[in-house]
Structures are given as structure tokens and as C-alpha cells.
Amino acid sequence: MIHSRNRRLRVNESIRSLVRENILTTDDFVMPIFVMEGENKQEAIPSMPGIFRRSIDLTVKECKELFSLGVKSVNLYMKVSDHLKDNTGKEAWNKDGLMQTTIKAIKDAVPGMIIMPDVALDPYSIYGHDGIIENGKILNDATNDALARMSVSHAEAGADIVAPSDMMDGRVLAIREALEDSGFTDVGILSYSAKYASSFYGPFRSALDSAPKDEMEIPKDKKTYQMDFHNSREALNEVFKDIEEGADIIMIKPGLPYLDIVSKVREVIDLPIAVYNVSGEYAMVKAAAQNGWLDNDKTIIESLTCFKRAGADLIFTYFAKEAAILLNK
């Protein structure tokens, strides 16, 4: 005779929900947003169905809708005009630049929205790299100086949390000291601590035209600073160093293929963990759903819940708006 029957707690939805371990809510989401120059402009991103580049005015409109749905945080990326790009990234800290103007516009329109601007030089670089290049190499410390200036300019514009995604050594400390010295003691740092050199970023780089350029004198990929996807212990080393340097939240990127890293980090730290459900993951689900191979809505909710189960507290996802609509139903 069987005395212990696990199925007793799966008999119906009421029982299943009563003992459910992880609950997905709109509070978990951060929506990545692409911003472009112009007015009343919106451009579809072919590899990311349902995702657009928008001018500031339409970005503000989108943020108002997101907030009404319960999505209370956005992660900002700029589509920078080619004539503003160089090897120093100086447009990144222009007080009247596209990023800074966007931050101010969103804060004015939706004061409660948490704004997390991306901190990296690749959208501003003529080479498409996250750092300044000299003699064919990515300069670490010079790049950190640029990232610190960029972060302070974001804070001045009204950002709540800066999100360095570059993977330079020591950049969290450089940014933390610059923010402190400038009086922005309440501005947080969400550090991309374990960001892997991944093939899953393709649609994102198309959206911003930020892929490394194929030129003889520069690295053709980002493997000298982003992590080797073969490694897991290395992620813990990166995480611990960023925490020591002053990170408030740590990020693991990509998401679904790296749930083992999320779980491993969760076991050893108490800080909030963010995970990035990246563009390639989004594109795969959308392509499969459009072909009738997956149920779009069910796959979205299941995928996002998996991040919670693995130990993530924040989920950066292009599904944020769609998932919020589903959850609100």
C-alpha cells in the first residue's frame, strides 16, 4: 500500500496554487527599451517581433502604459547616430545627449518609474566595442574613466540605478567612487557581473548597430572582456569582486541557457540577483510561436517563472509588457 502520494498536492489548481513555491508578478520585470532620434518615430526590429525603436515622445508614452500595467522599471539603450560615434565614447556623457534627455523626459512624465540606463560604450563606439581601443587592444582603465563619467551624467539626468554592462575589471569601484564624489550616494549600481560572450545577443546588436566591426586592427568579438561560456566558477569570482567594489544588484546574462549560473550564485550571495532574458531567447520563442510550434503565452510565463525558480529577483525581459498583460488577466 502507498502511504506517501505526491499527487495529492496536484489534484486541482486550488491545491497547486496553495503550495506553489514561486509566484511571478509584474514587480519582477524590467523592460529593455530602445530609443532613437526624432519625433513621433517608431521602427520595428525585424528579428524581435513586437519590439521597436522609438523616439523620446513615443518612449514616454510607452513608459506610461508599462507603468499602468505594473511594470515599474525600464532599462534604456540608445540608437546613436553614426556622426556622434568615435573611439572615446564622449557622446555618452553629453548632458544634452539622447540618453540624458530620455531619462529626464521619462522621470518628468512617470516619476515612479525606476530608470536603469545601460552603461557601456559600444553604442557610441565607431568600432562597436564596449571599450576604448588602442593598438588593437581594449583599454581597461581608460574605459573605466569613461564609464564613470557616463554614470555620473546619467545620475545628473535623474537615473535611479546605473547598469554597467561592459565587463571591464574594476569598473564598479570606479563608478561607485565617481557617484559618491559627485554626491549621488543614493544612486544604485546594477552590475553585469557574469556576462558571457554569447551568440544569443545577435538581434540586440542589430537593433542598435553595435556589433564589433570586422576590421583588421581590432578584435572581431568581445571574448577578451566578456566571459567564456565554458566556465562557471569564474562567474563566482566576478560576482564577489563586484560586490566588494560596491554593486547593489548583480546581473547574470544571458538567461535561460545560464540558469545553472543563477542557481549557483543564489546559493552563495544575499544581494538581489538580476537575470537578462536576452534578445536571442526572445526571438527563438517568437519564431517558434509564429510557426505554431509553441504556445506563445504559456511559453512566456513558464520561461519567466523558471528565472524565479532558479533564484532571480529581477528579470530583464522583452516579454515584460506582454507578460504583464497576461498576468493582469
Which residues are tagged catalytic?
Answer: 195, 253
Please name the residue that has the C-alpha cell 509564429.
Answer: 290
Strand bridging mode 132-134 / 137-139: antiparallel
Q: Cis omega (within 30 of 0) on the bond before 203? A: no
Measured distance CA(94)–CA(197) in Å, rounded: 29
C-alpha 122/C-alpha 127 separation (Å) is 8
Torsion 289-315-151-238 (CA) sign: negative
- Spatial contact of 126 and 83, defined as CB atoms under 8 Å apart: no
Residue 234 known to bind ligand: no
CA-closest candidate to residue 190, choices 248, 244, 238? 248
Annotated binding site: 238
